Each structure stands twice: as structure tokens, then as C-alpha cells.
Amino acid sequence: MPIALGDHGVGPAQSPPGVLRSLADYRGRDRERQEITARVGMLVFLGSWIMLFAALFFVYGSVRSRAPAWPPPDQPRLPVLLPGVNTGAMAASSAALAVAQRALQAGRHRACGAWLALAAFLGATFLSLQLAVWSGLWRAGLRPSGGTYPSAFYGLTALHALHVVVGLVALGMLAARARAGRAEQLGVDLWAWYWHAVGAVWLVLYTTVYLV
């Protein structure tokens, strides 16, 4: 159902004034309306939240454009391969989540739970690989206090990872609920949006921080 701004649902052609259809019919529509409301709210939230990362990328661009050399010659370069694998993990996790959404739409709760668990597993893989990247660079001598280059790297990746942790907790809980047959489409969909957004931010982060 597309989000119709300000659409009141029923046009005059379907229900002429004064002729009220059965209450059950309204109840069904009523639920749909509340779900649309929740989706609108989530969209606003995501738009707002994206601005947080947009601002962080702005700081990154700002400090980088003023640096004489990036990375500074005496500091370790960021790895490309391991974070690249991570990009794949994030994408696969999003894909698994999309399959989970479809499964739930078809009413297959157990399959949904399994796909959710896979998505969470891939997310956890992402986090552990990210930990490996951090510890490798830390051992190579890269400290946050070493200037803007490590500051931007640690700051951006850490704040992103925090959002991954939140998503992981949610995915785990949703998976457990789906296994018990109590998952709701709305909850899964909204967390899926969140997760896809976290993945999209990662894609930008990987491209701008690790690759370029």
C-alpha cells in the first residue's frame, strides 16, 4: 500500500454519505491506517537520522579537504579487502532480511525466523570483522589522538557500529518472536527499513573512508 499523504481512505463513490458499511470492514481498514501512520513516522525518523550521518560525513569531508596529505605518510593505510568483505556481509544481511519479510507476508513464520536469524548472524559477522579491522590498525599504531585521519576513521566507524549493535539486538528479538509464531509484519518491516538504512550508510562509509 503506497503512503497516501492526507488520504482519508474512502471516497464518496464507495460509500455514499449516511450509508455506513459493516463495522468489521472499518476495523480492517482502521488497522491498515494505523500501520500507514507507523510507517510515516518511521520514514520521518529515518530522514532525521540520516541527517546525523550526513553531518558526520560533512565533518569528515571538511577535515580531509584541509589536510595536506591523506593519509599522512607516516600513518598506516586502511585495509580495503576486509572491509570489502564486510560490505558483502552487510548486503547479504539486508537481502536475508528482505527474504524474511517476504516469508512473513506469505505467513511462513518459521522460515521468517530462520531468515531473520541469518540476517542477524551476518550482522554479527560484520561486527566481528570490524573489530578485527580496528584491532589490526590499533596494533599498527593508529590511535584516535594521531590527528584528523584516525579521528575520522575511528569516529565514523564507531558511531556506525553502535547502530549495527542496536539493529542486531532488534533482529535477534524479532527472530525469536518469529520462531514462536508471534512476529508482526509491521515490526519486521520497520526494522528492515532501519537495517537497510544502516547498510546504506555503511556503503557510503566504505566508499568514502576506505576506498577513496
- Give the binding site for another protein (CB under 8 A): 5-6, 8-12, 14-21, 23, 26-27, 29-30, 33-34, 36-37, 40-41, 44-45, 47-49, 51-56, 58-59, 62-63, 66-67, 72, 143-152, 154-155, 159
Using the minimum distance from each CB to another protein, give the nearer residue, 2 or 12. Answer: 12
- With vertex at residue 138, the alpha carbon angle to CA 137 and CA 142, rounded to the nearest 5 degrees, is 75
Using the minimum distance from each CB to another protein, give the nearer residue, 54 or 165. Answer: 54
For the CB of residue 69, give the shortest distance to another protein in the complex, in Å.
10
Q: How many residues does the chain have?
A: 212
CA 93, CA 192: separation in Å to the nearest integer? 10
Using the minimum distance from each CB to another protein, give the nearer residue, 85 or 140. Answer: 140
Q: What is the DSSP letter of 9?
A: S
For the CB of residue 95, give the shortest distance to another protein in the complex, in Å.
28
For the CB of residue 15, give the shortest distance to another protein in the complex, in Å.
4
CA 34, CA 28: separation in Å to the nearest integer? 10
Using the minimum distance from each CB to another protein, give the nearer residue, 9 or 88. Answer: 9
* Residue 166: count of CB within 10 angstroms of its CB: 14
DSSP 117-156: HHHHHHHHHHHHHHHHHHHHHHHTT--TTS-HHHHHHHHH
CA 117, CA 112: separation in Å to the nearest integer? 9
Using the minimum distance from each CB to another protein, give the nearer residue, 145 or 212. Answer: 145
For the CB of residue 155, give the shortest distance to another protein in the complex, in Å.
5
Q: Cα torsion for 33, 36, 38, 42, to the nearest 10°?
A: -170
For the CB of residue 162, give the shortest distance to another protein in the complex, in Å.
10
Using the minimum distance from each CB to another protein, give the nearer residue, 48 or 81. Answer: 48
For the CB of residue 38, give the shortest distance to another protein in the complex, in Å.
8
Only one residue has cell 550521518, namely: 53
